Amino acid sequence: MFYLELFHTDIPKALAVDEVLLADFEARSSGDELLYVWEPSGFGVIVGSGTRLEREVKMELCRALKVPVFRRISGGSAVVIGPGCLMYSLFLNRRKWSGFNSPAETHRFVLTQIADGLKGQLPSIEFRDPSDLAYCGRKFSGNSIRIRRDYLLYHGTLLYRFPLEVVSLLLEEPPRQPVWRNKRSHKEFLTNIPLAREELATLLRDVWQACSSWTHLDWRAISQLARDKYSRASWNERL
């Protein structure tokens, strides 16, 4: 598997990388796979492709505090990201792996691999159905999927040194909650894991045996998509 790392990047460009790479892998169908790791230079709210903003995001407060809101191409609930939250994306060839027959199976397979890889450092990490990772009974990773014919994009968050109070400040309590949350507030439910960013990135590379650097980025297409889609309210605030 290949590896790509982009730290201190702006969020529209990072989201555009996800979309451009997924389209490229699907079009070429070469069998290549990639682990993409990034962390934003500033704070932002990212919502799912079908998220209705008024249900999950405190939009007036986001505007007042100048925290931008973005929409990703996968589903799932709103998240707040920023420095201290490591983002990762996996581009996986569906023909190579078993266990990708449904979103539920995909979540369980991918997150079990990551949990097992982190347990050497933190034994209290575990997969929690349907799409979370927990540390000492509290969530530190939320995840979502975009599925194409031959490839899927699996991406998520890893909280390691994030100011958790920002989440309650900017997000409503989610309208859909997993059973294991047990109606806990953001403050009661979320946690950071005690690992440095470099340790997390290295562990992810080890889990997926991502050894070779990926250099085939179409920066012209990425920049155009970041400008024309991910920086525009017509996409980000369409629902």
The answer to whether 46 and 67 are in contact (CB under 8 A) is no
Q: What is the pLDDT of residue 9?
A: 87
CA pair distance 77, 177, nearest whole angstrom: 9
Q: Pick from 1, 18, 15: which is nearest to 152 by CA?
A: 18
Q: Which domains does the chain have, with CATH numbers?
A: 2-236 (3.30.930.10)
Q: What is the pLDDT of residue 36?
A: 98
Q: What is the pLDDT of residue 184?
A: 97
CA pair distance 238, 131, nearest whole angstrom: 25
What average pLDDT values come out for the chain (239 residues) when binned by 10 residues?
94 98 94 97 96 96 97 96 98 88 92 96 96 98 96 98 98 94 96 97 97 94 98 95
Q: What is the pLDDT of residue 79?
A: 98
Residue type, 136: C
Query: Which residue has 């007036």 as its token pair?
Result: 60
N residues, the chain: 239
The answer to whether 76 and 142 are in contact (CB under 8 A) is yes
Q: What is the pLDDT of residue 217?
A: 93
CA pair distance 104, 97, nearest whole angstrom: 15
Task: Tell me the two tokens of residue 31.
Answer: 């069998």
Q: What is the pLDDT of residue 141?
A: 98
DSSP states of 71-127: E-SS-S--EEE-TTEEEEEEEEETTT-SS-SSHHHHHHHHHHHHHHHHTTT-TTEEE
